[in-house]
Amino acid sequence: MVTFVFTDIEGSTRLFHQLAGTYVNLLDRHRELLRLAWEGHRGYEVSTEGDSFFIAFERAEDAILACSEAQQRLASEPWAQDVQVRVRIGVHTGLASPRRGQYVALAVHQAARISAAAHGGQVLVSQDTADVLGATEGSQLRRLGRFRLRDFDEPQNLYQLVGAGLGDSFPAVRAVPADGHNIVHRPTASVGREDLVTAVADRVEAGGLVTLLGPGGVGKTRVAEDVGVRLASGWRDGVWLVNLAGVSDEGFVAPAVADAVGAPTKPGRERWDDVIDQLREQQAVIVLDNCEHLLDACRQHIMSLQAECPGVAVLATSREPIRVPDEILWHVDPLDVPAAGGVGAGGVLSSAAGRLFGERGAAARPGFEVNEDNAGVVGEICRRLDGLPLSIELAAALVAVESPAEILAGLEDRFRILRSRDPSPTDRHGSVEDLLSWSYESLSDDERMAFRRLSVFSSGFSIETAAAAIGRPDLDAREVAPLVWSLVDRSLVETDLTAETTRYRLLETMRSYGRGLFDEDESIAEVASRLSAYFLERLGPWLPAGRSWAGEVAVELDNLRGLILLLPPDRQEAAQQIACTLGRYHNDARHTFLDGIEELTHYVDSLPDPSATRVSLLTTLAYLHLRTGAVETARWLVDDADALREKEGVPEWDEVAVDRARGEIARRSGDLDGAVAVARSALERPLTDRSRSRMYNLLGTTLGAQGDLESAREAFEKELELYRVLGNDGYIGTALANLAEVALRLGDFEAAARHQLACFEHSVVQGSVTVLAFSMIVAARLSGHREDWTTAVELHAKGERLLAETGLVLYEDDRRHSDELLARAGAELGAAGFEQASATGREMSMADALELTRSRLVPTAP
């Protein structure tokens, strides 16, 4: 039993012509290097002819070590004239009989066939050698698949020698695959792509082109491979994968395709002509993988195939369209990720991203599983990695050495940890950063600039906001649009199709990479400052909190929050102004008081610089606390704001910040005279319309609590008039509700219904849950007036539940009127009837509750 090794130099004829007289020297040096390897591992040189060797080894382990050393020596040699000497090597083990210094054996011919199937720099090993091979330090075998080789009766498994110092990325083996394709078997199964593979396979047709599009790491290659394997049995001449990742010049696309399909070389001809001759009568699928950096050549060759080879179909992967007529574009999306919030292990594993992490984690550390203890962390990892398969696989591999919680914490520096520990991937897939660098380097200077600056966005953006971030005076929105579209074509920017208008976004991984590209010449703080100025001009806290303002803030929430973190220390007041915008959004537009308290408390702590805007920030937080009844917390916040006002003043746009909060504290504390005094004192000063409306609101609610209802109505009418002048849609509904409340207490039920119906219709449009809840309570009180006690209790229960969800606490006088209504209803319905109506109301759907409210307001309206 002998292990045979055959070698020869790839492209030796080309080297001979290139080097002329020095080729002999190169050939001699090549022989010296290889002989050192053979002799160092007990190899016997059977023969040498031209640029080839025939070596025999007693032990397969010695043969493998010798071949590894031989390739390392060749790779590290400083060859003259910067040439590369690439030697293909084949290794096979079989029975042989020595005869006069030679061997007589079929295995000799078989070893030569294996060598002929290899590429320069590659070592191919037969199954027979793999079967007898023991441990070899620093080297391992990677299975490439089953191939049909001359001199072998059955298809043979071939392996590639991999390890330190050995090449890794090679074209397909120069042999016919036994399974009708040359796609290398993957040791792991695809996850979450079954339906996609089936759908794409159905669209691959002779004469056509299907292009799989998507960002780097989304799994285009894997999908293409799975489609190819699926199709192989149905195409007479097979499926041929052409990996273009390592092809750096468009002139080498044709040779790569020729090598993949096994097109024989004919002297004096273009290599592409060899491909056409090979495929002209065939029925085959050509898979062109990684076309994005070779688009012109790929386009030209695909169109040539379509014209000359009608039985050939092309499946391509690229980060941008190839732009061939009738090209079918198929976007490969990231895997679906677990929903946010405690979904548990079942919820995580119901997503493709969660299953992929679980399977790859178990492969890295036997026994690992997604369970109830780690499900929340695993789900967050999958979401943070945008469902990108490559990123998830790299993260899951860390399970071997880190807990999921440690992996999640490490994602703050994701490009450091998301690096492959496996020596097998190609260089650009060795880490997420390498992969993105590959894409980034292919961009034009303007595209790179745009990509960097767009990474400042934390969520989606429009063309107009993109132009603001890019901030080039020579580029308006119309000229920015093609830059954004180009980045979309290159799969670096996503189109957000869920929005009502076209918006764009970067996946978090792309965003993190883009932010890392800023340097001293162009800081991220500069872009953030420019973008914050743009947003403040449109959404500053000094603007009316109308419907359009609230809608735009809602769309840009994550971007606004992200800018606060990116602004430099010398722009902290701008960050405080953005925080005030978010506070007004919670308080004035959405009435999400509890969420507002949590968010603004963070900003009060993290943005401590003394400024006039901080006065407004403190009082805005205080007012949110007052909405929930936390009077004492509000009091110390306002004390801090008042002390700061003495030094910094107040913003012109929030001149009654402290006064309004002081009056509300008095109102909530039962000091009604004090609250009226604060309001009247402020109204005696020259104030802006916005400030006057706020003080009339305080005055009206307090006078109403004192029982001076006519004066309260007068104050509310002035409040409503000012809001209409200001166009402050957010508070028009509130003013109408105040007028309805006063009319109700005055016994003017028709006016109460009229005002509340106008408030109700306004609030439905605004989406103001709090004001709608008040409408339900007023409708309940009107129902009580008509002695419809069941409806009164149902509507009041629903309104109270909605208010409780926002955290709002009623004024004491409002609470008293509600208690009186409910006490009367309880007496009329009895305990059981009252409880039944309350339960029905609490569980009533929002749609039913709104319809019932409207029905109780409309009949009494004029």
pLDDT in tens, 777-787: 999 989 988 89
Residue 818: name the closest of 849, 797, 802 by CA. 797
Buried b (16+ CB within 10 A) or exposed e, 494-521: beeeeeeeebbbbbbbbbbbbebbbeee
The answer to which of 437-441, 476-480, 537-541, 847-851 has the lowest mean pLDDT is 437-441
Express each pLDDT in 659-692 by its tens digit: 999 999 999 999 999 999 999 999 999 999 989 9
- The 10s digit of each residue's pLDDT in 746-789 is 989 988 898 889 888 877 776 778 888 888 999 998 998 889 99
State mean pLDDT over 433-456: 83
Contact of 40 with 66, CB cutoff 8 Å: yes
Number of CB atoms found within 10 A of residue 811's CB: 15
pLDDT digits (tens, 9 = 90+) for 47-102: 998 889 999 999 999 999 999 999 999 999 988 877 888 999 999 999 888 887 78
First to last CA, the chain: 107
- What is the number of residues in the chain? 862
| Beta bridge mates, 286 | 240, 314
How much is the average pLDDT of 109-138?
Answer: 89
Instruction: Locate all alpha helices (DSSP H) within 250-294, ordered by sequence.
Output: 253-261, 271-279
- Model-level pTM? 0.63
pLDDT of residue 432: 66
> How confident is residue 424, by pLDDT bands cut at 50, 70 and 90?
very low
The number of helices, as runs of H, and strands, as runs of E, in the chain is 37, 17
Among 426, 444, 446, smallest CA distance to 435 is for 426
* Structure confidence at residue 58 (pLDDT): 93
The pLDDT of residue 500 is 62
Place of tokens 């695993």: 378
Q: How confident is the model at residue 862 (pLDDT cuts 50, 70, 90)?
A: very low
**Secondary element (H or E) of residue 20:** none
Torsion region of 138: left, alpha or beta (phi above 0 gives left; psi -120 to 50 gives alpha)? left
Average pLDDT, the chain: 88
For 161, the enclosing helix (H) or strand (E) is strand 156-163
| Per-residue pLDDT band at 425 (split at 50, 70, 90) | very low
User: Most distant CA pair in the chain: distance in Å?
Assistant: 125
Whether 266 shows a pLDDT value over 80: the answer reads: no
What angle, 0 to 180 degrees and rounded to 10, lies between the N-to-C axes of helices 524-539 and 463-470? 130
Give residue 520's pLDDT: 67
**Listed residue (584, 579, 614) closest to 599, CA to CA:** 579
**In this model, does residue 233 exceed pLDDT 90?**
no
Strand partners, 284: 312
pLDDT at 727 over 60: yes
State how far the Cα of 684 lies from the Cα of 411, in Å rounded to an integer.
57
Rounded mean pLDDT of 540-547? 86
The better pLDDT of the pair 785, 15 is held by: 785
For the cut 80, the answer to whether the pLDDT of residue 169 exceeds it is: no
pLDDT value of residue 187: 67
Per-residue confidence (pLDDT) for residue 414, from 0 to 100: 66
Distance CA 275, CA 280 (A): 8
pLDDT for residue 418 is more than 70: no
Q: Alpha helix (H) ranges present in 477-630?
A: 477-489, 508-515, 524-539, 547-566, 572-584, 593-606, 612-627
330-345 pLDDT tens trace: 999 999 999 887 778 9
pLDDT score for 50: 85
pLDDT, residue 861, reads 40
Strand, coil or helix: what is 266?
A: coil
Residue whose C-alpha is closest to residue 823's, from 833, 809, 834, 807: 834
